[in-house]
Amino acid sequence: MNYPGKIKKDVKSVNMTFKRGMDLEELINMSNTYYLDEDIAVIYKKPTPIAIVDASFDSHGRVITKAYFKEPSTLDYNGIYRGKYIDFDAKVTHNKTSFPLENLHQHQYEHMKNVIKHGGISFLIISMNNNIYYLDGNDIIDFISNNDRKSIPYSFIQDKGYIIEQKLRPSLDYLKVIDKIYFKGD
Amino acid sequence: MNYPGKIKKDVKSVNMTFKRGMDLEELINMSNTYYLDEDIAVIYKKPTPIAIVDASFDSHGRVITKAYFKEPSTLDYNGIYRGKYIDFDAKVTHNKTSFPLENLHQHQYEHMKNVIKHGGISFLIISMNNNIYYLDGNDIIDFISNNDRKSIPYSFIQDKGYIIEQKLRPSLDYLKVIDKIYFKGD
């Protein structure tokens, strides 16, 4: 399929510095659309969970008139790639020396452990120091299990993580890292 | 873990007739909580997608003041079971002779086909004629590919589907059907 608008957006994104979580989210969403269009993987961002307090009806149908954002109990993205269950989240930090673990809520961490225990692949995509890293869930669990620190040092991310290639399409080729780690030699 | 409130709810649900989609959804959510607590599977319902029109701040934080429900482009539930990606939806019909296919939106059907193509398991849980059926995605695709009908006859669901056992815990043991179809003899 031909998406002129999206390609334009890609070009813009590749050349920009990531200032907010939204930009990283956009890159991932565009990559997922590419993976879907090219029949490579089926991965979606989950809708943001909200708690509806009040709703009524207007000319467009049912309308929510009061709702709050809820803290998600899972990670934001999931789906299937090469028969494997994939489950991950995107995090942005402006901290230059370490990734603060307060970015990964306790129930998100528990979810990550559950996914891996049941045979899935879980990871974080971390935007930090002008690079976008893939950090595998096994390395995150390994770090947290063996450290009392409240943040993951940047050196650990540089050592264990993988820089995700940014290109035109897909804008963020994170599945290439999964190929490297989980489908070696295939 | 001990959930006295939930067990009570289970008992009530098992003995009730399903009048609304919500009841079936509750049974599935309770079953998923059971599967998670017992370390059997990691399956969640996705939040309902909404389009936020207006938001502001109040004493509780950011508050959505106007939003509409969006039509989901995927199925409502997904996760991992025995290393397999699972993706399904719950549908209720009061029609006694057939399941109207308008209940399964075109993009949901396409999503189901994508999931199966990539090695996942996809299906519908259908509440109909006071039974709750598991109807596998392969049978749904087979039916739709070979028929111009706008509904699946009840006889097809009885023939190809599986009645899901309703019990105390889990309230709806739909993974047992998956064991039967996909993990024969394990």
Written as six digits, the tokens of B155 are 């006889």
Report residue A14's pLDDT band, with 50, 70 and 90 as the boundaries.
very low
Q: Do the Cβ atoms of B124 and B152 come closer than 8 Å?
A: no
H or E stretch including A179? helix A174-182
Give the per-residue pLDDT at A32.
Answer: 98
Q: Is the pLDDT of residue A11 over 60?
A: no
Q: Is the pLDDT of residue A118 over 70?
A: yes
Residues in chain A closer than 8 A to B87 (CB atoms): 80
Measure CB to CB from residue B41 to each of A50, A64, A118 and give the nearest one.
Answer: A118
What are the tens digits of pLDDT across the range A143-180? 999 999 999 999 999 999 999 999 989 999 999 999 99
Q: Where are the domains of chain A?
A: 4-182
* CA–CA gap between residue B51 and residue B8 (Å, rounded): 36
Measure CB to CB from residue B65 to each of A44, A66, A84 and give the nearest one.
Answer: A66
Give the per-residue pLDDT at A60.
Answer: 82
Give the per-residue pLDDT at B55.
Answer: 92
The bridge status of strand A84-92 relative to strand A121-128 is: parallel
* CA–CA gap between residue B79 and residue B119 (Å, rounded): 13
Question: How would DSSP label each residue in A84-129?
Answer: EEEEEEEEE---SSEEEGGGS-HHHHHHHHHHHHTT-EEEEEEEET
Phi-psi sector, A116: left (phi>0), alpha (psi -120 to 50), beta: alpha
Q: Is the pLDDT of residue A18 over 60?
A: no
Mean pLDDT by 10 residues, chain B (186 residues): 38 40 84 98 95 90 92 94 98 96 95 98 97 98 96 98 94 97 86
* CA–CA gap between residue B26 and residue B18 (Å, rounded): 11
* CA–CA gap between residue A83 and residue A184 (Å, rounded): 15
Q: Is the pLDDT of residue A17 over 70?
A: no
Cβ contact, residue pair A120, B78, below 8 Å: no
A68, closest residue in chain B (CA to CA): B63
More confident residue, A184 or B108: B108
Measure CB to CB from residue B64 to each of A39, A50, A114 and give the nearest one.
Answer: A50
Stated pTM of the model: 0.87
Cβ contact, residue pair A85, B82, below 8 Å: no
Cβ contact, residue pair B39, A117, below 8 Å: yes
Give the per-residue pLDDT at A34.
Answer: 98
Cβ contact, residue pair B42, A114, below 8 Å: yes
**One-letter amino acid for residue A66 of the chain:** K
Q: Does domain A4-182 correspond to CATH entry 3.40.718.10?
A: no
Cβ contact, residue pair A67, B63, below 8 Å: yes
Averaged pLDDT of chain A: 89
Question: How would DSSP label each residue in B36-103?
Answer: HHTTSEEEEEPPPPEEEEEEEEETTEEEEEEEEE---SS-SEEEEETTEEEEEEEEE---SSEEEGGG
* CA–CA gap between residue B59 and residue A161 (Å, rounded): 40
CA B12 → CA A81, A175, B97, B171, distances in Å?
40, 45, 28, 10
A163 bridge partner residues: A133
* ipTM score assigned to the predicted complex: 0.86
Written as six digits, the tokens of B107 are 């993009």
CA A2 → CA A6, A29, A37, distances in Å?
9, 17, 10
What are the tens digits of pLDDT across the range A31-42? 999 999 999 999
Query: At A108, phi and psi to the nearest 5?
Result: -70, -40
* CA–CA gap between residue A13 and residue A167 (Å, rounded): 9
A102-120 average pLDDT score = 97
Q: Do the Cβ atoms of A92 and A20 come closer than 8 Å?
A: yes
What are the tens digits of pLDDT across the range A49-90? 999 999 999 888 899 999 999 988 899 999 999 999 999 999
Written as six digits, the tokens of A1 are 């399929």
Give the per-residue pLDDT at B15.
Answer: 38
Give the per-residue pLDDT at A185.
Answer: 67
Q: Determine the distance in angstroms separating the CA of B171 from the nearest CA of chain A, rounded to an integer.
A: 22
Residues in chain B closer than 8 A to A68 (CB atoms): 60-64
Cβ contact, residue pair A42, B114, below 8 Å: yes
